[in-house]
């Protein structure tokens, strides 16, 4: 199984800050990496797929990059509605695995 | 508008069975694979299993934690996917989500790309 490790597990930031979340894989693979946002009590929402493709309707302040074993999600200017938990997920091999999540809260 | 709606959750005792449904609308259901995920209270996301499209046999894959106990089926005529859960355990407790996945073909096999639309989830509680 491919293990996905996210860092940090939590962070505090202010509106307007640039935020970067890292996801590392235990095995190298191409770009079958997605990022999700989940707000409390809600279903996950797809932000990024294919490591860097922005899902339709997602604001341009979200971006993804990386390949191999190192992937990043960047929020260029944090907005009040972005305070949530973020997960990475690989769909390269079964079982599809998630990172442990990064909770972004208000500083 | 794409929509997936889960139903069938509830409180059951260990060892019991439960069937969840995922009803889809707003897209051609038969063109997509469908996956189930779950989330234990206060925990992260876990993939449970998925079912391929009918052109690729409608075959299924499962996480090791549920293989042999859970079964996924699809009824394309009604745009519904089912998650049949047997021999339920207390650690099966959580919110269950269904999601659709665009697929692609590679060497005559069907692969899933990503999970772009999710239902709102249904809560399953396994407790005596």
| CB of B43 closer than 8 Å to CB of B113 | no
Query: Average pLDDT in the A57-67 region?
Result: 97
> Which among B97, B114, B121 has CB closest to A49?
B114
Q: Do A49 and B113 touch (CB under 8 A)?
A: yes
- CA dist., res. A21 & res. B25, Å (int): 34
> Which among B44, B97, B118 has CB closest to A98?
B44
Closest alpha carbon to A42 in A101, A106, A89, A85: A85
Q: Do A50 and B113 touch (CB under 8 A)?
A: yes
* Of A28 and A30, the one with more pLDDT: A28
What does residue B75 show for φ and ψ, rounded to 5 degrees?
-125, 95
The pLDDT > 70 percentage for chain A reads 100
- CA dist., res. B21 & res. B26, Å (int): 17
- The full length of chain B comes to 128
Q: What is the pLDDT along chain B (128 residues), one digit of tens a residue?
A: 999 999 999 999 999 999 999 999 999 999 999 999 999 999 999 999 999 999 999 999 999 999 999 999 999 999 999 999 999 999 999 999 999 999 988 888 888 999 999 999 999 999 99
């Amino acid at each position: 199984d491919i293990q996905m490790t996210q860092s940090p597990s939590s962070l505090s930031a202010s509106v307007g800050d640039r935020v970067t979340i890292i996801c590392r894989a235990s095995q190298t693979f191409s770009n079958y990496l997605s990022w999700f946002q989940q707000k409390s009590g809600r279903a996950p929402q797809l932000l990024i797929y294919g490591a860097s493709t922005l899902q339709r309707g997602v604001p341009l302040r979200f971006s993804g990059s990386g390949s191999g074993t190192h992937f990043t999600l960047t929020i260029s200017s944090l907005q009040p509605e972005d305070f949530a938990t973020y997960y990475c997920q690989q769909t390269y091999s079964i079982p599809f695995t998630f990172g442990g999540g990064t909770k972004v809260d208000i500083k | 508008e794409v929509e997936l709606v889960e139903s069938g959750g509830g409180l059951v005792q260990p060892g019991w069975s439960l069937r969840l449904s995922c009803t889809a609308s707003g897209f051609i259901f038969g063109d997509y694979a469908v996956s189930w995920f779950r989330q234990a209270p206060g925990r992260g996301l876990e993939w449970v299993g998925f079912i391929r499209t009918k052109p690729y046999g409608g075959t299924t894959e499962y996480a090791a934690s549920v293989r042999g106990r859970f079964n996924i089926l699809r009824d394309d005529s009604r745009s519904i996917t089912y998650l049949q859960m047997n021999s339920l355990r207390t650690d099966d407790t959580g919110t269950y989500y269904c999601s659709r996945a665009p697929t692609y073909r590679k060497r005559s096999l069907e692969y899933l790309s990503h999970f772009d639309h999710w239902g709102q989830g249904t809560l399953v509680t396994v407790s005596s």
